[in-house]
């Protein structure tokens, strides 16, 4: 189990009212929903960071046409011929 840390968050009153309504509907606590929202936000941003790193690496050293052809040939070598 991970260590939990208490935080204080200031948010607009309507956002808290909307959050409370969702908490009631899904039978979850504010803490649980906020923790889930934080985790999902971090996951999306982590993916964006990985995508940016991949793009930067590709731009530094793009694949050659010959390399792409070799990969395609290897990937399709075992395919049955079309009837």
pLDDT digits (tens, 9 = 90+) for 59-71: 999 888 999 999 9
> Which run of H or of E encompasses 69?
helix 65-76
Is residue 30 within 8 A of residue 19, CB to CB? The reply is yes
Cα 70 to Cα 67: distance, rounded to the nearest angstrom: 5
Residue 66, token pair as written in the block: 């010959």
Burial group, residue 81, by CB count within 10 angstroms (0-12, 13-18, 19+): exposed
SS3 4: coil
pLDDT digits (tens, 9 = 90+) for 25-68: 999 999 999 999 999 999 888 888 889 999 999 899 988 899 99
pTM of the model as a whole: 0.57
């Amino acid at each position: 189990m991970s260590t939990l840390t208490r935080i204080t968050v200031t948010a607009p009153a309507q956002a808290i009212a909307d959050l409370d309504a969702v908490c009631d509907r899904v039978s979850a606590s504010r803490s649980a929903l906020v923790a889930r929202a934080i985790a999902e936000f971090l996951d999306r941003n982590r993916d964006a960071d990985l995508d940016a790193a991949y793009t930067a690496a590709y731009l530094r050293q793009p694949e050659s046409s010959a390399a792409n052809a070799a990969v395609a040939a290897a990937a399709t070598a075992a395919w049955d011929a079309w009837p």
